[in-house]
C-alpha cells in the first residue's frame, strides 16, 4: 500500500469513527477522541536520527517519534540535527506541540530514556540520590526535553533490577528517582527492560499518575523475561497507562521453552497483533499502543549475554514479516481489523492512547 492509500485509509477511519456510532471503550481511561483521530505516534523507536529515517516516518504518516536518548551528548546531537532540518522535525514536550508539528508537516521528536543510567553513579559524582536532599541532573535533562524515563536496562543499576534480574526490587535511590520523575511530570516507563519486582515496586508508589511500558509484549504468548506478565499488565492498566507492542520477532515468538532453539520461528504481523489482542481482552484496548522498537541505521547484531536464550536467538535482529519497517503500518491496521478491532480502537492503538497518557502527565 502506498502513502496516498495509507493516508486515505487512516483518514477514513477517523471520519467514520465520528459518524458510525460505534461504542467507545468504557472506563475512566477512554482515549481522547480528538487525539485518536488525528495522531499517529511511534511509541518507542531507538533508530539513528537521520534525514532518511525522519522522511520514512513522515511518509508513513507518523506525527510523533519517541526516540531513545542517552547522556548529554545525545541531546546536543539531536538539537544540532533539528537546527539543520527545521522543516522536517521539531522537539515536542506537549500534545499541543505534537498537533502543531503535524499541522506544519513536521515530525515531532519526543525524547526518552530506556533507563536512568545517565543519572547513576557514586555519591561523590554528579548525582547523589542518598543524601537527605537528592542532588541530581534530572531537572537539567527535563529542561532539555526529556519527557519519558525508564529505570534499568536489562541488568541491575543503582535504582533497581533489569529484565534479567527480575527478583531485584527498587532501591532507595530508585524510590527517590521515581518520586523525582513524577514531581517533574516525566512519564515513568516500566516493564520490558526493567525487571518485574522493580517495576511492581515503582507502580506501588505511583498512585494517581499513568505509568507506561513503552515497548513490551505479553509473557502469556511468549514466555520470556523481556515480556510482561499479566500481573504487570494489569498493574500498568490500573494506573491508566499503555503498553507499546514490539515488532521484534523474538519478542513476539520466543519463550523459555525455546532456549535451545536456533533460530527462533519468524513471526508475522498477525502474530504481533495477537499480543495486542491479549492485552485488549485482559484490560481493554485503551491500554494498547505501538512501541515497535525499530533500529534503522543501527547494527543488526545483538548483545546476547544481556538478554539470554529465553529472550532471543543468536542470529541478527529480525522483525515480524509484514511489519519490518514503519512504512508497513497499513499492515498493522489490517491485522487489527481482522481480529475485530473497531475503528476507534485502532485509532487509539495508533496514537490516541499514547496522546491521552501524555496529556494526563504533562498537562497540555
pLDDT computed for residue 302 by the predictor: 86
Concatenated DSSP letters of 29-66: TPPPHHHHHH--EE--------HHHHHHHHHTT--EEE
On whether the CB atoms of residues 177 and 129 are closer than 8 A, the answer is yes
On whether the CB atoms of residues 291 and 214 are closer than 8 A, the answer is yes
Q: CA separation (Å) from 286 to 34, 211, 351, 357?
A: 14, 13, 10, 10
On whether the CB atoms of residues 233 and 283 are closer than 8 A, the answer is yes
Torsions phi, psi for 307 (to 5 deg): -120, -45
Say how many C-beta atoms besides its own lie within 10 A of residue 4's C-beta.
8
Say how many C-beta atoms besides its own lie within 10 A of residue 120's C-beta.
16
Identify the band that residue 193 occupies on the pLDDT scale cut at 50, 70 and 90.
Answer: very high
Calpha distance 69→78 (Å, rounded): 9
Residues 6+ apart with CB under 8 A from 318: 248, 249, 250, 266
Evaluate if residue 83 carries a pLDDT over 80.
yes
On whether the CB atoms of residues 153 and 215 are closer than 8 A, the answer is no
Say how many C-beta atoms besides its own lie within 10 A of residue 305's C-beta.
9
* Cross-strand partners of 109: 65, 91
Identify the band that residue 11 occupies on the pLDDT scale cut at 50, 70 and 90.
Answer: very low
Torsions phi, psi for 99 (to 5 deg): -65, -40
Out of 5-19, 49-63, 115-129, 347-361, pick the least confident.
Answer: 5-19
Say how many C-beta atoms besides its own lie within 10 A of residue 134's C-beta.
16
pLDDT computed for residue 259 by the predictor: 95
Q: Classify 123 as helix, strand or coil.
A: coil
pLDDT computed for residue 1 by the predictor: 44
What percent of the chain has pLDDT above 90? 83
Out of 281-290, 298-307, 337-346, pick the least confident.
Answer: 298-307
Identify the band that residue 364 occupies on the pLDDT scale cut at 50, 70 and 90.
Answer: confident
User: pLDDT tens digits for 288-310?
Assistant: 999 999 999 999 888 899 999 99
Evaluate if residue 6 carries a pLDDT over 50.
no
| 190 burial level (CB within 10 Å; 0-12, 13-18, 19+) | buried
User: pLDDT tens digits for 18-73?
Assistant: 322 233 333 333 334 443 466 999 999 999 999 999 999 999 999 999 999 999 99
| 323 burial level (CB within 10 Å; 0-12, 13-18, 19+) | buried
Domain ranges of the chain: 3-13+28-119+128-136+211-235+242-362
On whether the CB atoms of residues 48 and 296 are closer than 8 A, the answer is yes
Q: CA separation (Å) from 71 to 75, 111, 112, 191, 363?
A: 7, 11, 11, 21, 26
Evaluate if residue 93 carries a pLDDT over 50.
yes
Calpha distance 332→322 (Å, rounded): 8
On whether the CB atoms of residues 290 and 330 are closer than 8 A, the answer is no
User: pLDDT tens digits for 227-245?
Assistant: 999 999 999 999 999 999 9
Q: Classify 68 as helix, strand or coil.
A: strand
Calpha distance 7→13 (Å, rounded): 10
Identify the band that residue 149 occupies on the pLDDT scale cut at 50, 70 and 90.
Answer: very high
Per-residue pLDDT, averaged over 146-157, amounts to: 97
pLDDT computed for residue 26 by the predictor: 34
Identify the band that residue 138 occupies on the pLDDT scale cut at 50, 70 and 90.
Answer: very high
Concatenated DSSP letters of 170-211: --HHHHHHHHHHHHTTPEEB-STTB-HHHHHHHHHT-TTS--
Calpha distance 164→117 (Å, rounded): 16
Per-residue pLDDT, averaged over 184-201, amounts to: 98
Per-residue pLDDT, averaged over 158-167, amounts to: 96
Evaluate if residue 9 carries a pLDDT over 80.
no
Say how many C-beta atoms besides its own lie within 10 A of residue 95's C-beta.
25
pLDDT computed for residue 321 by the predictor: 98
As a whole number, the mean pLDDT across the chain is 90
Q: What is the CATH number of domain 3-13+28-119+128-136+211-235+242-362?
A: 3.20.20.140
121 or 348: whose pLDDT is higher?
A: 348
pLDDT computed for residue 37 by the predictor: 60
Amino acid at each position: 500500500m502506498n502513502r496516498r492509500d495509507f493516508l486515505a485509509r487512516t483518514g477514513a477511519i477517523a471520519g467514520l469513527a465520528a459518524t458510525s456510532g460505534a461504542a467507545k471503550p468504557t472506563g475512566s481511561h477512554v482515549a481522547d477522541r480528538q487525539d485518536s483521530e488525528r495522531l499517529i505516534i511511534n511509541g518507542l523507536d531507538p533508530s539513528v536520527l537521520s534525514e532518511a529515517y525522519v522522511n520514512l516516518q513522515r511518509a508513513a504518516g507518523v506525527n510523533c517519534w519517541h526516540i531513545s536518548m542517552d547522556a548529554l551528548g545525545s541531546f546536543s546531537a539531536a538539537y544540532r540535527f533539528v537546527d539543520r532540518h527545521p522543516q522536517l522535525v521539531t522537539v515536542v514536550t506537549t500534545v499541543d506541540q505534537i498537533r502543531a508539528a503535524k499541522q506544519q508537516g513536521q515530525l515531532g521528536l519526543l525524547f526518552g530514556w530506556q533507563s536512568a543510567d545517565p543519572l547513576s553513579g557514586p555519591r561523590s559524582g554528579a548525582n547523589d540520590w542518598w543524601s537527605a536532599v537528592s542532588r541530581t541532573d534530572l531537572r537539567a535533562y527535563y529542561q532539555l526535553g526529556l519527557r519519558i524515563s525508564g529505570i534499568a536496562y536489562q541488568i541491575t543499576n543503582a535504582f533497581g533490577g533489569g529484565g534479567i534480574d527480575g527478583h531485584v526490587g527498587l532501591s532507595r535511590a530508585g524510590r527517590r528517582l521515581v518520586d523525582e520523575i513524577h514531581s517533574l511530570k516525566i512519564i515513568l516507563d516500566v516493564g520490558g527492560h526493567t525487571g518485574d519486582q522493580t517495576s511492581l515496586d515503582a507502580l506501588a508508589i505511583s498512585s494517581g499518575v499513568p505509568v507506561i511500558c513503552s515497548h513490551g509484549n505479553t509473557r502469556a504468548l511468549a514466555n520470556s523475561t523481556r515480556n510482561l506478565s499479566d500481573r504487570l499488565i494489569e498493574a500498568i492498566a490500573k494506573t491508566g497507562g499503555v503498553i507499546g507492542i514490539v515488532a521484534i520477532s523474538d519478542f513476539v515468538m520466543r519463550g523459555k521453552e525455546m532456549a535451545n532453539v536456533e533460530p527462533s520461528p519468524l513471526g508475522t504481523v498477525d502474530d504481533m497483533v495477537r499480543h495486542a489482542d491479549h492485552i485488549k481482552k485482559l484490560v481493554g484496548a485503551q491500554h494498547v499502543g505501538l512501541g515497535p522498537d525499530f533500529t534503522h541505521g543501527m547494527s543488526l547484531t545483538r548483545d546476547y549475554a544481556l538478554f539470554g536464550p529465553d529472550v532471543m536467538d543468536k542470529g541478527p535482529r529480525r522483525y515480524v514479516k509484514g511489519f519490518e519497517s514503519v512504512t508497513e503500518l497499513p499492515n498493522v491496521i489490517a491485522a487489527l481489523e481482522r481480529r475485530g478491532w473497531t475503528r476507534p480502537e485502532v485509532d487509539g492503538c495508533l496514537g490516541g492512547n499514547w496522546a491521552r497518557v501524555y496529556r494526563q502527565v504533562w498537562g497540555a
